[in-house]
Structures are given as structure tokens and as C-alpha cells.
Amino acid sequence: MVNVGRHPRTGFDLRRQGNHPAAADFVDRMKLQHEETQSALKKAQDDMRRYADRGRGEAVKYKEGDKVLLATRDLQIQGRPTRKLREKFIGPYTVKKIISPNAVELDFPRSIRIHPVVNVSRIVMYREQVEGQGSKPAPAVEIEGEQEWEVEKILNAKWFRGKKRYLVRWKGYTAEADSWEPEENLANAKELITEFH
């Protein structure tokens, strides 16, 4: 019973109550051993739960309409050569429906081909940047007597009046400062242009 958690099957049934003192002593010892084993198992479970819960915080409760970011660690994202160069999270996306405490349905645009139901371990709450908070924009660098700002990332490209233009994210600035720049203005960002293509 102690080893497997159930009574073993026997080929015969002994239902008569015996009066042999050694048998009664054996039954008492087995009952005591069983109680001690159950007590030790309960203590081990409590210890494991206490150690496991030590690093856990309160679970975030999501509700419909919340904005969240989706972790990219399990996604196949095109356009990035390695996992370490891509963003850790993408979004924000709106929580469309709560499926269970562990799963939510997100409202993805049609361009994203991901199953809309995701586990809550793959999302984090999106926090809007408060005006006045955050990092200061990077100052302009002077190169050959002219002020120049550092390019963080090339976001897009297009042809305009026979010239190639790039949508540029400036280092230290938000998306509001993104601008379309002709290729000749990006002479010091050739590596980023090559990485984009």
C-alpha cells in the first residue's frame, strides 16, 4: 500500500478477523508506518510549494480592452538575421476576449499570421510613455562642421520623384520624430541601409 498507493490484489480473500497477537502487532506497525509516510509526503509537498512560490509574484489579471505586448521569443519573424537582434516584444495589441485565467484572445491586424489565442505568460501589460518621462533625445553630433543625428533604425523605403527615400527612426527619439530622408542624407548609415535590405 505504501509503495504504490493502492492495496495489492491477492488470489484469495481473508475477511475473517484473526486473534493472533503477532498479526495484530503487524497491522498496528503498518498503520503507524502509513501515517508517518503520509505526514512526510505532506511536509515535502509543503516545502516544495513554499520554495516554488518564493519567486512568484501576484498574477496579472487582464481584462477586455487592455493593451498588451507580445513576446517574440517563440515567433518566427522575417527580416531579422538572428534572434538577439530583434525586439523582445511587439505590439501593443488589444485584448479581445478572456478565454481563461491563463489564455487571452488578442486583436491582431490581418498582416500578422499568428493564432490569436495566447498564453498569458507570453504577454506583458503595455504602459504608455508619460509625457516628460523617458530618455532625453540624443544630441546632434558634429561631423565636418555640420550637425548630424544618429540613425537608430531604417523602417521603410520608397521611391519618390526618381530618388530612393528611407523612413528613419532617430536614436533617442520616439516614433513621432520618424522622417523620410533621401539616400544622400544617410551617408553615415550605410550599414543600417544594408541591414534593412
Q: Specify the 3-state DSSP secondary structure of 122.
A: helix
Q: What is the pLDDT of residue 68?
A: 94
Task: Give the residue with greater pLDDT, 181 vs 82.
Answer: 181
Residue 44: CB partners within 8 Å, gap ≥ 6?
none
What's 175's DSSP letter?
A: G
What domain count does the chain have? 2
31: in domain? no
Task: Give the residue with greater pLDDT, 26 vs 194.
Answer: 26
Q: Which of 113, 121, 185, 126 is nearest to 151 (CA)?
A: 185
174: in domain? yes
Q: Are residues 118 and 153 located together in one domain of the fold? A: no
Strand order in the sheet with 151-160: 151-160, 163-170, 179-182
For 165, the domain range is: 149-196
Q: Supply the pTM of this predicted model.
A: 0.45
Q: What is the pLDDT of residue 23?
A: 83
133: in domain? no
pLDDT above 50 (res 142): no
107: in domain? yes
- Residue 27 banded pLDDT, cuts 50, 70, 90: confident
Cell numbers 488578442: residue? 106
Average the pLDDT over 176-194 and give the result.
79
- Residue 81 banded pLDDT, cuts 50, 70, 90: low
What CATH number is given to the structural domain containing 90?
A: 2.30.30
Q: Are residues 121 and 167 located together in one domain of the fold? A: no
Q: Are residues 192 and 154 located together in one domain of the fold? A: yes
- Average pLDDT score over the chain: 81
182: in domain? yes
pLDDT above 60 (res 192): yes
Are 41 and 48 in contact by the 8 Å Cβ rule? The answer is: no
- Residue 190 banded pLDDT, cuts 50, 70, 90: confident
103: in domain? yes
166: in domain? yes
54: in domain? no
